[in-house]
Amino acid sequence: MDKLRIGIAGISRGSQFYKEFSRIEGVEVTAVMDPDEQAVEKFRRQYSIDHGFTEYEDLLNATIDAVVIASPLRFHVQQAVAALKQDIHVLSEVTAATSTEDCKTLFDAVKQSKAQYMMGENYCYIRENIAIQNMAQSGVFGELYFAEGEYLHDVKYLHYDEHGRPTWRRTETMGRRGCTYGTHSLGPPLEWFGERVKYVNCVGPGSHTAPAYENDDTTLMLCRTESGALINVRVDMVSNRPHNMGYYSLQGTKGCYEAPRVPGGKHRLWLKDYGLSSEKWMDLSDVYEDFLPIDLIEMPVERTNANHWGSDYFMVNDFVNCLRTDKPVSIDIYRALELTLPGLYSEKSIVAGGSPVEVPDVRQW
């Protein structure tokens, strides 16, 4: 594949994807699509894009090798399926789908296509999360049994457009109860455990900050994995408070990890085999040389301070490398649905008062 031609659907978030793809040699964004014609033309002029469309079908017919789906949630499955039918590779924003039926539709489309599908869960590509994953796989934490993931991000200002009309964030994440946007919080811990969620319990305190909203201010989703480990996921997108979009913790029999809860804090680590006292923490960066590749260790400051802590580039680069070398993508259809389905089934649990609900095993589909 001499040059990889990329199309992008949805130019609001798509502008970040354009910047990251443009950093990779031999990759070119050749076409973009958005229903807002003026936004498309502005984007084309700004970045010198060859083709711009307002219809998704036109984007797929613009001779592209892969498409980035950065559209609202409700379009993810239909746009991915349309691309896969034309054997166009897909990198889709989270979540993969908004219903179990759509999950099955997407699953079937991937199985019938010659192209690859990857869900773009960029939080799995954050440097600290990769370090913890490599450490977990090496066994330094011992037997893993508990983890946490939190996404606290007040985005009420994005729930309505300039004309007062509800956006997809208002209707699709806050328009129903449950953990409707939980893959950022669940993704990294589930990678650390290397298994799937078998049961979920979901509860919430109701709507207080924005009483008209259907979803709770804060949603807690307790996930039990196949081995019996627990992952506690918290998602809150309306509470009046400073952001904390990437808190995680991990507990094993031989060590633990704690991300900072406030800006400026350090990623802390305790490992029994490192001879530390029971009350002494170490900085996660102290072990980077043992558990990270050099390009992640020597990230320039502007990258670590970039959107999503620089993870977008590493995700995009991984996607490109897999396509070029014909290797399976990292977050394939199985993993994408294993990250998406717990949130969908949390909607059943929360309306049942937090009762446990079993999550289907997509590897048996």
14, burial (CB in 10 Å: exposed 0-12, middle 13-18, buried 19+):
buried
b/e 83-98 (16+ beta carbons within 10 angstroms → b): bbeeebbbbbbbbbbb
Do 198 and 60 reside in the same domain of the chain? no
pLDDT at position 176: 96
pLDDT at position 1: 56
Which residue among 91, 122, 153 closes a domain? Answer: 122
Which residue among 104, 122, 140 closes a domain? Answer: 122
pLDDT at position 300: 74
Residue 96 in any domain: the answer is yes
The whole model's pTM is what? 0.96
**Is 220 in a helix, a strand, or coil?**
strand
Do 50 and 148 reside in the same domain of the chain? no
∠ CA 356-73-337, nearest 5°, is 45
As given in the structure block, the two tokens for residue 267 are 């990623």
Do 260 and 130 reside in the same domain of the chain? yes
Task: Please give the DSSP secondary-structure letter assigned to residue 120.
Answer: -
CATH number assigned to the domain comprising residue 54? 3.40.50.720
Residue 302 in any domain: the answer is no
Residue 298 in any domain: the answer is no
Q: What share of the chain is helix, strand, coil (3-state, %, to 5)?
A: 40, 20, 35
CATH number assigned to the domain comprising residue 196? 3.30.360.10
Do 202 and 349 reside in the same domain of the chain? yes
As given in the structure block, the two tokens for residue 119 are 């869900």
Do 217 and 75 reside in the same domain of the chain? no
How many domains, in total, are found in the chain?
A: 2
As given in the structure block, the two tokens for residue 322 are 């897999």
Domain extent at residue 20: 4-122
Alpha-carbon distance of 235 to 185, in angstroms, equals 8
Which residue among 96, 122, 148 closes a domain? Answer: 122
Q: Average pLDDT per run of 10 along the chain, which is 365 residues long?
A: 91 94 96 97 94 98 97 97 98 98 98 98 97 97 98 96 95 97 98 98 97 97 98 98 95 97 92 83 95 89 73 96 97 98 98 98 97
pLDDT at position 302: 66
pLDDT at position 306: 67
Do 82 and 224 reside in the same domain of the chain? no
Do 147 and 274 reside in the same domain of the chain? yes
pLDDT at position 263: 82
Nearest to 338 by CA among 172, 259, 226, 250: 226
